[in-house]
A = this chain, B = another copy of it.
Amino acid sequence: MLFFNTYNHKTCGDSMNQRQQELLDRLNRTGRILIEEEAEHFGVTSMTIRRDLRFLEKNGLAVQTKNGAIPKPKIHAAPLNIAEDSAVKRKIAARLLEMIEPSSTVLLSTGTTTLTFARLLAQQNLPLTIITNSIPITSALFQTRIKVILIGGELRTNSLDLVGPAAEKYLSEYHIDLLVTGCDGADAQQGFYTSDLNLANLEKLSAKVSDKVIVITESRKFGRKALVKFAEIVDVDAIITDNRLKAIDRELITRNGVEIIVT
């Protein structure tokens, strides 16, 4: 028989009473509770339930809504929301959607623009296989007809995605019809940039195992260079961006034989 040491890690020091425990259970089970219903169920006044909900909210376990509460959203935390899901991105995503061939295998890289696209995909009913290294994208696509394969690796906590040698090794065994990726910076002559070295390596490999490559990005990314270049302009087959792209950039790209689509 093995021996396990015991450690005195302090457990959450609140002191929930029995009713609050059960209230939280019911909340998590149903996804939503109503004050009046719970008051009746527990045989207490609605005021008491209100106080309980206030307590749960204070402890980060629930969010109070109109006549009740919902569980505290668990993944949808701050850093991921920044600049996410703008109208510009939704337009770009809608344009990309028209170019997706049913039943194909698409590698969808991490990023907020690709995430917007994934959310759009989730509303369609396309038969597709999506390979991704992004947890938010995976989350967006679950419970759809889409088959999802998530590349494993080390978690980057800011962007909730997976990178590193393990991810590369994993990816190297696949063959992809279409790579869709965003970028942190772009230059009409130099190519595409990202701010993470690990991610850049993964992107390079992704392009290598894919038949076609499409970059989707807001035009404001052009002119900004980030830390690491991961692709030349000529490495990609098409770029989708918004209509504020400078004419000169547009011409430079076209001259390289790369299709550029503005929304």
A interface list, Cβ under 8 A from B: 1-2, 4-12, 21-22, 24-25, 28-31, 63-66, 70-71, 73-79, 81-87, 90, 94, 97-102, 120, 123-124, 126, 135-136, 138-140, 142-143, 147-155, 157, 160, 162, 166-167, 170, 173, 212, 237-238, 257-259
Pairwise interchain contact B170-A152, C-beta atoms closer than 8 A: yes
Give the residues in chain B near A98, CB-CB below 8 Å.
6-9
Pairwise interchain contact A6-B99, C-beta atoms closer than 8 A: yes
Pairwise interchain contact B167-A152, C-beta atoms closer than 8 A: yes
Pairwise interchain contact A139-B100, C-beta atoms closer than 8 A: no
Beyond A1-B257, A81-B28, A149-B155, is A99–B7 a contact (Cβ under 8 Å)?
yes
Shortest beta-carbon distance from A62 to chain B in Å: 11
- Copy total for this chain: 2
Pairwise interchain contact B1-A259, C-beta atoms closer than 8 A: yes
Given the complex of chains A and B, what is the CA–CA distance between A98 and B75 in angstroms? 26
Contact of A74 among B136, B149, B150 (CB under 8 A): B136
Given the complex of chains A and B, what is the CA–CA distance between A82 and B30 in angstroms? 7
Give the residues in chain B near A97, CB-CB below 8 Å.
7, 9, 11
Shortest beta-carbon distance from A126 to chain B in Å: 7
Pairwise interchain contact A149-B149, C-beta atoms closer than 8 A: no
Give the residues in chain B near A166, CB-CB below 8 Å.
149, 170, 173
Contact of A170 among B21, B74, B170 (CB under 8 A): B170
Beyond A11-B94, A63-B65, A76-B75, is A87–B21 a contact (Cβ under 8 Å)?
yes
Pairwise interchain contact A162-B152, C-beta atoms closer than 8 A: yes
Q: Which residue of B lies closest to A70 (CB)?
A: B63
Contact of A4 among B9, B86, B99, B123 (CB under 8 A): B99
Give the residues in chain B near A143, CB-CB below 8 Å.
77, 79, 157
Contact of A12 among B6, B7, B120 (CB under 8 A): B120
Give the residues in chain B near A8, CB-CB below 8 Å.
98
Pairwise interchain contact B135-A139, C-beta atoms closer than 8 A: yes
Q: Which residue of B lies closest to A211 (CB)?
A: B2
